Structure 1
Amino acid sequence: MDISEVARRAGVPASTLRFYEQKGLIVSTGRRGLRRQFAPGVLEQLALIALGRSVGFSLDEIALMFGADGQPRIDRQLLANKAEELDQAIRRLTAMRDGLRHAAACPAPSHMECPSFRRLLGLAAGRPGSGRGRKTPARKGRPAPKRP
């Protein structure tokens, strides 16, 4: 297949294919005139690259997933580590989503007076202990905010 066919079928610009080739992620089989030619297996390689990018692997990490022959050689521990990173991100994003929902309906006179909103600020600033696991006691005269 020539580069335009691969680009069309993979849904990526030809410039991306040239960049991936330069990085050693894919290899062309030669040229027909000025157009690079690729083996049909390149589409599977591009799908793996797209999957890796969508879960947050860098191109250098993805390059390690291919052997010299272009066949996938995926380190299972690398996958497990990335899955744990995603779990942590999901927990952080869930806490932020819940905090935003609470802040949108919070009865406190000011968001800065709302313990849940202040936890959200801490979470956004990356301070430890700002996540969902920590409970803030109810303020005097006010019930604790309800979680959705």
Structure 2
Amino acid sequence: MAVEKKLDGLRSLSVGEVARRSGVAVSTLHFYESKGLIASTRSAGNQRRYPALVLRSIAIIKVAQRTGIPLEEIKSALGRYPPNSKLSAAQWREMSSAWRDSLNARIRTLEALRDSLDDCIGCGCLSLEDCPLRNPGDALGKEGSGPRILEGPGIN
């Protein structure tokens, strides 16, 4: 197995082992690294090596992505701490509470969208003068008759 011991005693994992243990593809690890979400070092043979603590960072990234938090927000939150560090319970509470307002706003928006769908007939606003989703207050009616959204600039 491609596990090395560093001088400081922390385990170092190959990119393949991190992928296997975290459940994400190697290409995803490379992507996360290119975005500055995780960091690796290079072995004497120029192979990527990650500290075992990177698995915690990847778990946080996956949970945050699942809730719809954009990668830039995740990067900003993780950037408050040293790369691949072990977050304390207090640090996790701080990070998660910073996301709470954004998530609550997103939940309110989704609930409003869900509740508005009952009045939508899925027509692209061809029949409704007042569509709460795409044409609130019939703003498009001021531009003329017909399917204004579908007949927008550059649409044939």
Q: TM-score, normalised by structure 2?
A: 0.58
Q: CA separation of 1:46/1:125 partners in 2, compared to 1, >3 Å: closer, same or farther?
A: same
- In structure 1, runs of 5+ residues without a counterpart are 104-111, 113-117, 129-148
Which of 45, 56, 80 aligns to 2:68? It is 56
Q: How many residues align?
A: 114
State the 1:38 CA deviation. 1.0
Question: Residues 3 and 20 (structure 1 numbering): CA distance in 2 closer, same or farther, change over 3 Å?
Answer: same
Q: 3-state DSSP class of the match of 2:108?
A: helix
Residue 42 of structure 1: how far off its partner (Å): 0.8
The amino acid of 1:47's aligned partner reads A
Change (3 A) 1:34 1:96: farther
- What's the CA shift for 1:87? 2.1
Any conservation in 1 of the 2:113–2:133 contact (CA below 8 Å)?
no
The 3 A distance-change label for structure 1 pair 50 and 76 is: closer
Alignment equivalent of 2:48, drawn from 36, 46, 61: 36
Question: Does 1:83 find its partner at 2:103?
Answer: yes
Q: Whose strand fraction is larger, Structure 1's or Structure 2's?
A: 2
Cα distance, 1:82 vs. partner?
Answer: 1.7
Indicate the RMSD between aligned Cα atoms, in angstroms.
Answer: 2.9
Tell me the distance in 1 between the aligned counterparts of 2:19 and 2:135: 40
Q: Which structure's residues are more often helix, by fraction?
A: 1
Contact 1:52 1:62 in 2 (8 A): yes
What's the counterpart of residue 19 of structure 2? 7
Structure 1 residue 123 corresponds to structure 2 residue 132: yes
TM-score by length of 1: 0.60
| Code of the aligned partner of 2:136 | R
